[in-house]
Structure 1
Amino acid sequence: MQIGAHALVFTGKFDESGIRLAIEKTREAGFDIIEIPLMNPYDFDRELAARLLRENGIEATASLGLSETTDLTSHDSAIAAAGEALLNECLDIVHTMGGHRLCGVIYSAMRKYMSPVDEAGLASSAAAIRRLAGRAADLGIHLSLEVVNRYETNVMNTARQGLAFLDRVGHDNVSLHLDTYHMNIEESDQTSPVLDAGTALGYVHIGESHRGYLGSGTVDFDGFFRGLTRIGYDGPVVFESFSSSVVSAELSNALGIWRNLWQDSDDLAAHANRFIRDKLRSARSVDMH
């Protein structure tokens, strides 16, 4: 199992200095992998990132959320096509970086919808993901679809909804991406969704209920990690936290980061690395009882 950190823990800019900072800080904090958000894929220096990843001995995954202009559930075929083209570009970036995972809200726009998703939107998204999954497999990349709360998508807010969508996609190169922050809002508990997902779980985000220091909120991490242990999960486990002292004002507004719960990303990251590894060790020890 690889333990990682989201790059936005360290920087909100992904120019040369930002990419270097995020990768070096990830290594210094003791993580195995860095998750790089591809917020502006066409401007991202993939060659630089690949070189810095090799120099630091860190692997990368990548993530993003689609927008209203790239929404795969849109009834406007041009918008859905733009989303598919953008995701194909992201696959190229991940491949260049030597990565093997693309995840996030890559099946719809990451925004508050004002009505439920309809059959046409689901069909459009599932068909696009199916095509992308085939190309991703050829590149050695796996897709994971993030289950997020009701304010960030209308497609899948629970693990069971995610599993139903995977059935629509019908491709074994696509899995679920669960996030404890979103689960704390939408699910009844932190264990059952993991058990429901089982072998369909391919990626994990670890985030506190208020996006701050792990263990200082209401998320039942003991239950979550016991669930991971019971299903034999061995995929990426990535810490995610946001502060407007680091990320851009635009992203802070989009994510609703109205208050800062931390200022020192180095301390936050080191604490998260220890917390996750300790929780995993404790959960595994249960099997010895």
Structure 2
Amino acid sequence: MTTREEIKARIEQDGIEFLLAQFVDLNGTAKVKMVPASELDACIDSGAGFAGAALWGLGQGPHDHDMLARVDLDSYTPLPWKPNTARLAGNLFVDDQPHPYCARTNLVRVLDAARASGYVFNIGMEPEHFLVTRNEDGSIAPWDPGGVDHLEKPCYDFRSMAPAMDYLQELTSSLNSLGWGVYQTDHEDGNGQYEVNFDYQDALTTADRITFFKMATSQIAAQYGAIATHMPKPFADRTGSGLHVHFHVADAETGGNLFLDESDERGLGLSQFAYHFLGGVLAHAPALVAVTCPTVNCYKR
């Protein structure tokens, strides 16, 4: 666990002047307060204050006390596009108690329970997104400055991807400067649609990185005259975007892969534990959908 002294040293070394105390709402949208780096101690001990009634789905009204986002020092992430600023993800507290509507707090609770049972939950995600522009009438169109991204099946097409290479390379280099291990990017099935793949980590780290990834794409894309959207289905007549999830459960003591069994009679290399895990996903799919697909647009994909 990173100490405050270590973070203070990194803040000085990195030339950080401002911090973004960040949490997510129930739609996974990043919400932040910007504070001077000199206020780090207050962000750790008390938290950055937010009026929950000003946001959807946080379970608060105008009469409720403020939510306080207490930052997790392990989530320290400098903004490559804003070198004097760093993001710190936080957990929400109200009246010194964990806020039950905080998505990150609930994830930490579940991961702690899993570890207490001897499991470490690792996640890899494949975020897809579109680059779009806005027309004069308010509608959107695929970002296509070269006028070449119009194939019916543009997946992996060099000519279709070429105009976006500067954006994708800057995004890749920015994330790799943070140690993410981006190992491939490509043009996806839809015109103006791209995917970026990076190394898997424990579930909390990956969740924090996905939030930061959406922040990064929005700001870097704007430098190229594009709007980055992670909507599941921005266009009715084009392929939608997904966030493919790869699950890995390890033994908390040995780090061994609990899903692997080369003697699997079905020939799939899966252990009984893995089959039970898959059965649980299927059994709880209706409840999972409420979390993973929280908007109407999800069901248009």
TM surpasses 0.5: no
**Bigger radius of gyration among the two:** 2
TM-score by structure 2 length? 0.28
More strand per residue: 1 or 2? 2
TM-score by structure 1 length? 0.29
